[in-house]
Amino acid sequence: MGGAGGARLPPFPSLRLVGAPRRDVLYFFRIILRTFEQDGVRGGELLILDRQAEEGMIRHGEEGYPHEVCGLLVGHFEEGVATRTAREACRAVNLNRERSADRYDLDPADFRRIEEEARQRRMEIVGVYHSHPDHPSRPSETDRQGAEEIWQSGESWSYVILEVVGGSVASRRSWVLRGGAFGEEEIRVSPRAT
Amino acid sequence: MSSTVRIPTPLRPLTQGKGEVQVLGRNVREALDHLEGQCAGIRARICDEKGELRRFVNLYLNDEDIRHLKGLESEVEDGDVLSIVPAIAGGR
C-alpha cells in the first residue's frame, strides 16, 4: 500500500449538534469520500520496488527539500504493463528553477542517459518519481495533464509521489494513468534479489 | 539514408512493442513519414496538426536536440539514431 497515508482527516466539528446539523453531516460525508479515495487501489496494478530503489528515492526527496526533485525508475515490465518492477531510482535534474518548490520539468538529457544505460543492461524505464514538498502524495491536475500529454488514453508507467514534510518523507504512493485519470496502485517493497 | 528511431515506452503500443524501428529518409521529416508508414498513428503523437513537433516531445538526432539544429528539416546521415524523448513534467 501507499505507506504512511494521505492528508489528515478534517478536524471534528462541534459536538453541539443542535443548530449546526449541516456541519456534522458534511463531516461524515467527507469521511465517506476519503474512504473511497484511500481505497482507490485498482486491481491488478502493482509496483514492486526494490528496497534500494525506495531508499534512493527517499534520500533524493529529503536532500532536495524544500524543492521538488524528480527521477526515473528503471527495471522491468511484467504481464504487459500491469506489474512493474523497479530495480533502481535514477536521479534527474529538475529544470524548472523558477518554480522548483511546486513544479518539475525532468531534464530530457537525463532521460536519454538513463534510458540508454538501462537499455545496455536489458532494463527499461518503468516509472517516474517526484516529490511534493509539504503537500500530500496525491497527483495534482498539473501532474495529470503532464502525464496525459504523453500517454493520452493509454495505460501509463508508474508515477510515484513522495510527500516530504519539513525535510522528511511522510508518505509515498504510486499512481497509474489510464483513460486520462490517475488511479492508485499497490506498492510492494522487496529486498534486492541478486 | 537508413537510420534508427528509438521509441519510448509510451509509444510502443504503436510499434507492436518494438523499442527501435529502422527508417529511411534524408531528413527528420522524411524519417517520420517512413515511420508513420510502418506504424500508423505514431506521427500524430509526435507532431501537431500543423506538422510541428509537439510541446511534450523532444527529438534528438544522435546527441543533439533537433530544436537546436534545423528542426524537422535536419539532415539525417546513414546510421544516425533518432530518439523520441517524452517531456516529463508536473508538480503539486
A45 to chain B, any CB pair closer than 8 A? The answer is no
Which pLDDT tens digit goes with each residue over B40-64?
A: 999 999 999 999 999 899 999 999 9
Q: Which residue of B has its CA nearest to A94?
A: B89
Task: Kindly give, in sequence order, each residue whose CB lies less than 8 Å from that of residue B70, ignoring residues fewer than 6 positions away.
Answer: B27
Distance from CA of B10 to the nearest CA of A (A): 6
Instruction: Identify the band that residue A81 occupies on the pLDDT scale cut at 50, 70 and 90.
Output: low
**Selection from A161, A104, A100, A156 nearest residue A135 by Cα:** A161
Cβ distance A70 to B92 less than 8 Å, yes or no, reads: no
- Give me A146's grid cell: 503532464
Q: Which residue of A has its CA nearest to B86?
A: A150
Cβ–Cβ < 8 Å for A69, A104:
yes
Give the pLDDT means over successive 10-residue stretches in chain B (92 positions).
93 92 97 97 94 93 95 97 95 88
Q: Output the CA angle A153-A159-A165, nearest 5 degrees.
A: 140
Phi/psi at B9 (nearest 5 deg)? -50, -45
Distance from CA of A32 to the nearest CA of B (A): 24
Q: What's the CA gap between B8 and B19, in Å, rounded?
A: 7
**Tally of CB atoms within 10 A around A71:** 28
Q: What is the ipTM of this complex?
A: 0.89
Chain A residues with beta carbon closer than 8 angstroms to that of B41: none
Three-state secondary structure call for residue A56: helix
Q: Which of A31-35, A48-52, A125-129, B49-53 has the lowest mean pLDDT?
A: A31-35
Chain B residues with beta carbon closer than 8 angstroms to that of A128: 88
Q: What is the reported pLDDT for A3?
A: 40
Segments of B1-92 assigned E as strands: 2-6, 20-24, 57-61, 64-65, 81-86, 89-90
CB half-sphere exposure, A125, CA atoms < 13 A: 29
Q: Which residue of A has its CA nearest to B87?
A: A108
What's this model's pTM, rounded to 2 decimal places? 0.81
Q: With a CB-CB cutoff of 8 Å, which residues 86-105 of chain A face chain B?
A: 96, 99, 102-105
Chain B residues with beta carbon closer than 8 angstroms to that of A96: 89, 91
